[in-house]
Amino acid sequence: MKKNALLILLIISLSSCATVFNKKTQTLSVTTNITDASAKINDSIYKLPVKIIVKRSKKELPIELVSDSLTKKYTLKPSVNGKFVFGNLLFFQLFPVGYITDFTNQKRFYYQDKVFLDVQDSVGVIKTDLSTGFESFKHHFTKEYPTKKGQINFVVALPYVNTFHSEPTNETPVNQTGFFGFSAGIEYFYTNKRYFSANFRAVTDFKLPFPAPLDQDGEYERLNSISFGLTHNHKIKRFSVGYGLNYSRNGWYKHYDEYYVNDVDKESTKKINKTLGATLNSYYQISSFFFIGVNYNQSFLNLNKSSDSKFENVISLDFTFKLSPNKNRLK
């Protein structure tokens, strides 16, 4: 029983990276940009530049810069160590235990190891590279890009991945996924957060995820869709959601190669459904001009034969670019 308990304790200890690989102390290298200066750290005074050893802690570490001409206070902010954040993930099956173990001691924390006391620093707060990087990453994905009433956007998009559900007349329904297309449109903001959009799009089920010549022999099917849509849209921080109507021309093409087909009655066939339907879309803003999102066109009414409704749809993953020619002129 004791052996089993010791084995479990050993496994838990070895699975917690900060506990195993970090010491209780760390080395700080402290410098400044003034001459003849000293730093007061933990009630001790050190002539700068200096390397000192401090205990790891979750508490802030105050540093006071002292010279003949000034006295300035700084705060060294701790953050969790990378070995704690990422190292425990290496022990996939035990990483919850590893995190719990590391949470029980101060070894998971560290201070910025190279500390530069800048006398021009008006804030006086020194953070770790990991903490600064995380805040920069967080800022990138929380930063808002405000829009203005009266703003006009010209829109160009690449519908990169397209999934089709097609119901050609007197044929078996077809489900296929392919690549590429083109979309262009215009947006008008009638408030700061709401806008109307008119959009033209043409999408295909090209078989390769990159542009290249493609020769297909024998029997195969091709799908495409050309549509015009009008949507009403809401901007919610960096997200947008739109809904509206579309007119679509959905094409189905069945190809038979006479060299590969023995049945002389089989001929290549093309069928078109002209439909009315609904459009839903949602996009996320990556930068001031680049967006990624999904557009969904659902057909309800077949204009070829109103009594024969076609519930066709096309779902596209869009890479979208927007340019506003008048935004900077608006108040």
The model's pLDDT over 260-277, given as tens digits with 9 standing for 90+, comes to 555 555 677 889 999 999
Beta strands in the chain (DSSP E): 25-32, 38-41, 44-47, 50-55, 61-66, 71-76, 79-80, 109-110, 114-117, 125-126, 152-166, 174-189, 194-206, 220-236, 239-255, 269-285, 290-302, 313-323
Q: What is the CATH number of the domain that holds 200?
A: 2.40.160.20
Residues 114 and 222 in one domain: no
Structural domain boundaries enclosing 82:
2-132
Residues 124 and 164 in one domain: no
Tell whether 270 is covered by a domain.
yes
Query: DSSP H helical segments within the chain, as ranges?
Result: 2-14, 17-21, 82-85, 95-102, 129-142
The reported pLDDT for the residue numbered 133 is 80
Q: Which sign, positive or negative, has the C-alpha torsion 302, 305, 310, 313? A: negative
Give the separation between CA 261 and CA 237, rounded to whole angstroms: 56
Residues 171 and 56 in one domain: no
Q: Are 187 and 322 in contact (CB under 8 A)?
A: yes
The reported pLDDT for the residue numbered 72 is 93
Asked whether the predicted pLDDT for residue 10 surpasses 60, the reply is no
Tokens of 310: 């076609």
Tell whether 190 is covered by a domain.
yes
Per mean pLDDT, which of 170-174, 272-276, 300-304 is the most reliable? 272-276
What 3-state class would DSSP assign to 1? Answer: coil
Nearest-CA neighbor of 201 among 312, 323, 317, 309? Answer: 317
Residues 97 and 191 in one domain: no
Asked whether the predicted pLDDT for residue 16 surpasses 80, the reply is no
Give the separation between CA 311 and CA 277, rounded to whole angstroms: 9
Instruction: Give the number of other Cβ atoms within 10 Å of residue 128's Cβ.
Output: 20
Residues 275 and 174 in one domain: yes
Tell whether 139 is covered by a domain.
no
Residues 123 and 165 in one domain: no
Of residues 268 and 297, more confidence is placed in 297
Mean pLDDT over 145-160 rounds to: 96
Asked whether the predicted pLDDT for residue 18 surpasses 60, the reply is no
Query: Is the entire prediction scored with pTM above 0.75?
Result: no
Tell whether 138 is covered by a domain.
no
User: The tokens 């006479």 sit on which residue?
Assistant: 258
Domain endpoint, select from 85, 101, 132: 132
Residues 232 and 111 in one domain: no
Tell whether 122 is covered by a domain.
yes
Tell whether 146 is covered by a domain.
no
Tell whether 31 is covered by a domain.
yes
Query: Residue 130: pLDDT band by 50, 70, 90 thresholds?
Result: confident
Tell whether 201 is covered by a domain.
yes
Residues 127 and 159 in one domain: no
Residues 189 and 253 in one domain: yes
Q: What's the structural domain count of the chain?
A: 2
Of residues 255 and 285, more confidence is placed in 285
Residues 95 and 239 in one domain: no
